[in-house]
């Protein structure tokens, strides 16, 4: 419990509760609705943040966290709709999202988390925002240099002021992502017919698969 209390303080949950209370009270004053109308939404926000802290403290297995959050979200949303006596857009969306989380959590628990190819350069830095940003910028710099004209590893390192080992790790990551290929000692850019919009196209192709995964 002591560990949980420390985590709650670090996440500034009491401050968030005060701010949330003032926000929802302000919504009640500014609209024709009563404060009771916003209690379910406030409850969803509180439970979501509280459970997120608990999941981190007790290191819940993959799939358990989204599944339980989905159950809670769906339960609160259903209660909200029942109290209001009509289907409102916010609890309806929250209910659908909660059911999606339950299904996705089950799939994750059964098959493991969804993985996307990242390459070795981005491994182990999930919680290091500053380092992640630096590495993304460096990868972009290397990719742009290769698009300008093909180069060997040593030439890339010299041109960009990086070590060869550093560049090799980045190139391996770019190969995993299908952005470059090696031929006759030179690294070439994989040209896409979508040009600069390629990342957007890849995301739009991936998104439906991710959304439909719980149904498979």
Residue 20 lies in a domain: yes
The reply to whether 216 falls in a domain is no
**In-domain check, residue 95:** yes
Residues 143 and 199 in one domain: yes
7 and 98 in a common domain: yes
- pTM above 0.85? no
Q: Residues 156, 190: one domain?
A: yes
Count the domains in the chain. 2
pLDDT at res. 125:
67
The alpha-helical segments, DSSP class H, found in 112-197 are 129-148, 153-160, 164-176
Same domain, yes or no: 16 and 84: yes
Residue 98 in domain? yes
Quick check: is 89 in a domain?
Answer: yes
- Cβ atoms of 175 and 182 within 8 Å: the answer is yes
* CA angle at 126 for the pair 123 and 132, rounded to the nearest 5°: 80
CA dist 138 and 140 (Å) reads: 5
83, 29: one domain: yes
- Here the tokens at position 179 are 């952005």
Distances (CA, A) of 87 to 50, 81, 91, 180: 26, 6, 7, 51
Is residue 35, in this structure, part of any structural domain at all?
yes
160 and 70 in a common domain? no
Residues 152 and 94 in one domain: no
On whether both 53 and 144 belong to a single domain, the answer is no
85 domain residue, yes or no? yes
Last residue of a domain, one of 111, 139, 166: 111
Q: What CATH number is given to the structural domain containing 159? A: 1.10.10.10
Domain that holds residue 178: 131-204
Query: What pLDDT does residue 26 have?
Result: 74
Residue 86 domain flag: yes
**Same domain for 33 and 105?**
yes
Same domain, 199 and 167: yes
Beta bridge partners, 186, equal 183
Whether residue 135 sits in one domain with residue 106:
no
Residue 153 has what pLDDT?
Answer: 92
Mean pLDDT by 10 residues, the chain (216 residues): 54 65 70 68 71 68 77 82 76 88 84 66 69 84 89 91 90 85 87 68 79 80
| 90 and 6, same domain (yes or no) | yes
């Amino acid at each position: 419990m002591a560990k949980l209390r420390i985590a709650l303080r670090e996440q500034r949950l009491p401050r968030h509760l005060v701010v949330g209370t003032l926000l929802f009270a302000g919504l009640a004053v500014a609209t024709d609705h009563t404060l009771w109308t916003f209690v379910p939404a406030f409850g969803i926000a509180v439970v979501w943040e509280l459970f997120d802290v608990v999941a981190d403290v007790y290191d819940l297995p993959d799939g358990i966290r989204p599944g339980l959050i989905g159950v809670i979200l769906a339960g609160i949303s259903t209660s909200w709709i029942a109290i209001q006596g009509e289907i409102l857009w916010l609890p309806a969306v929250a209910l659908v999202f909660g059911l999606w989380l339950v299904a996705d959590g089950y799939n994750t628990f059964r098959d493991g988390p969804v993985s996307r190819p990242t390459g070795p350069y981005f491994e182990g830095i999930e919680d290091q925002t500053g380092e992640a940003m630096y590495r993304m910028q460096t990868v972009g710099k290397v990719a742009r240099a290769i698009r300008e004209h093909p180069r060997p590893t040593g030439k890339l390192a010299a041109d960009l002021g990086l070590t060869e080992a550093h560049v090799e790790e980045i190139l391996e990551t770019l190969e995993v992502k299908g952005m470059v290929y090696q031929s006759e000692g030179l690294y070439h850019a994989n040209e896409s017919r979508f040009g600069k919009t390629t990342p957007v196209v890849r995301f739009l192709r991936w998104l439906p698969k991710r959304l439909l995964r719980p149904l498979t």
